Amino acid sequence: MSKPEPLFNRLALIGAGLIGSSIARAARAQGAARTIVATARSPKTRRRVAELGLADQVVESNAAAVEGADLVIVSIPVGECGTVAKEIGAHLAAGAVVSDVGSVKGAIVRDMAPYLPKKVHFIPAHPVAGTEYSGPDAGFAELFVNRWCILTPPVDADAKMVEKLAAFWRLLGANVELMAPDHHDLVLAITSHLPHLIAYTIVGTADELQAVTRSEVLKFSAGGFRDFTRIAASDPTMWRDVFLANKDAVLEMLGRFNEDVSALTKAIRKGDGDALFEHFERTRAIRKGIVDIGQDSPTPDFGRPHPDLPHEPLPKPYASEKN
């Protein structure tokens, strides 16, 4: 079976961090675009993209990147998308699909749409995938496989172009879902933004304690804390922008979360074991649902490697212990 024709002739990637560089790798591996051109704000990142051979061309400006491209994907922090739209607006080719990867969609539409000419198809997107690492070296071609990519096309979008962008994401391994921007922002507020905010909070709380040292927090983190630190290690600029851009939905979810914290706190204070048990039993079922639909690994401890048991030499059984 011969290789199919690429879906797009020229893919322009603005930004080459974890997500942008993963798109570059996956698009090339899958032959999704005939030519890939990439740019990034910092000379250092552009140099690294060239060294890694992630794109056919690396250019210095956003305007140069989008010239002649029939697919433009902006993969930068949400707060910069408006500025970039302004820079590229006049340089976009007629009929191009312009998209992004932002974790917030309402603000993206508000910030980018005014600068994009009518002759292009603006179809915002959000691939719900990532790791705790950032930058062009952190990306990998398989990042989107079996993850969801949410498209939030405007109501008057060209259905063929929406489908063409959906096909691109499916080719990169993602499942595609369409949603209104506002609903996207509500769904992500609970499945992603609130968990990040809470993880950032609790890691900060632990770090400020006087009675428990940082060394103790690190050593005994396998008791649960370390699971919060991965998400609290995500890119600070990206996340600052997410919270500023999705303020209303995040504050709404925070309000509900606070009510639930209060209810469990009260159960602890009153010693109401039945209320605690009932709650803990219920949440277990949700974990099972996530594993069942393939959104997490069923292997214990997230498939974290467990080192082999040490065999001999046997530690000296009666040596004195430092106390």
Which pair of structure tokens corresponds to residue 42? Answer: 């910092």
> Read out DSSP for 210-223?
SSS-HHHHHHTGGG
Rounded distance between C-alpha atoms, residue 45 and residue 15, angstroms: 9
Please tell me whether residue 188 binds its own copies under the rule CB under 8 A.
Answer: yes
SS3 57: strand
Instruction: Tell me: does residue 260 bind its own copies (CB under 8 A).
Output: yes
Helix 247-270 and helix 273-292, axial crossing angle in degrees, nearest 10: 140
Q: Which of residues 112-141 bind its own copies (CB under 8 A)?
A: 128-133, 138, 140-141
Site string for its own copies, 44-83 (x = CB under 8 A): -----------------------------------x----
Using an 8 Å Cβ cutoff, are 153 and 123 in contact?
A: yes
Q: Which residues pair with 151 in a beta bridge?
A: 125, 178
Q: Which distant-in-sequence residues (6+ apart) come within 8 Å of 265 by Cβ?
A: none
CB nearer to its own copies: give 114 or 236: 236
Which of 34, 148, 154, 158: binder of its own copies (CB under 8 A)? 148
Q: Which of residues 261-290 bind its own copies (CB under 8 A)?
A: 261, 264-265, 268-269, 271, 273, 276-277, 279-284, 286-290
Q: Which of 21, 30, 45, 62 binds its own copies (CB under 8 A)?
A: 30
Site for its own copies in 193-212 (CB under 8 A): 193-209, 211-212
Residue among 44, 47, 119, 230 that touches its own copies (CB under 8 A)? 230
36: buried, middle or exposed (CB in 10 Å: 19+, 13-18, 0-12)? Answer: buried
State both tokens at 247.
């303020």
Q: Does 156 bind its own copies (CB under 8 A)?
A: no
Token pair for 275: 């209320």
Distance, in Å, from the CA atom of 262 to the CA atom of 255, rounded to the nearest integer, reads: 11
Among 103, 115, 125, 136, binds its own copies (CB under 8 A): 103
Question: Which lies closer to its own copies via its Cβ, residue 53 or residue 294?
Answer: 294
Helices (H) and strands (E) in the chain, counts: 13, 9
**Distance of closest approach, residue 117 Cβ to its own copies, in angstroms:** 24
- Determine if 94 is a binding residue for its own copies (CB under 8 A): no
Does residue 239 belong to the site contacting its own copies (CB under 8 A)?
A: yes
Residue corresponding to tokens 């997410």: 242
> What residues from 298 to 317 belong to the interface with its own copies (CB under 8 A)?
300-317
Q: Does 109 bind its own copies (CB under 8 A)?
A: no
**Residue 185 belongs to what H/E stretch?**
helix 181-188
Binding segment toward its own copies, per CB under 8 A, in 22-30, 58-66, 68-76, 87-95: 22-30
φ, ψ of residue 38 to 5 degrees: the values are -130, 150
Between CA 318 and CA 323, with CA 320 as vertex, the angle to 5 degrees is 140
Check binding of 150 to its own copies (CB under 8 A): yes
Q: Pick from 41, 113, 154, 225 the residue near its own copies by CB under 8 A.
A: 225
Q: How far is the CB of 105 from its own copies (least distance, A)?
A: 13
DSSP assignments along 301-316, one per residue: GGG---PPPP-SSPPP
Distance CA(28)–CA(145), nearest Å, equals 15
- Asked if 171 touches its own copies (CB under 8 A), the answer is yes
Task: Find the part of the chain contacting its own copies (CB under 8 A) among 60-68, 92-100, 107-115, 237-245.
Answer: 237-245
CB-CB contact of 112 with 122 (8 Å): yes
- For position 176 contacting its own copies by CB under 8 A, the verdict is yes
Of 88 and 232, nearer to its own copies (C-beta) is 232
**Can residue 108 be called a binding residue for its own copies (CB under 8 A)?**
no
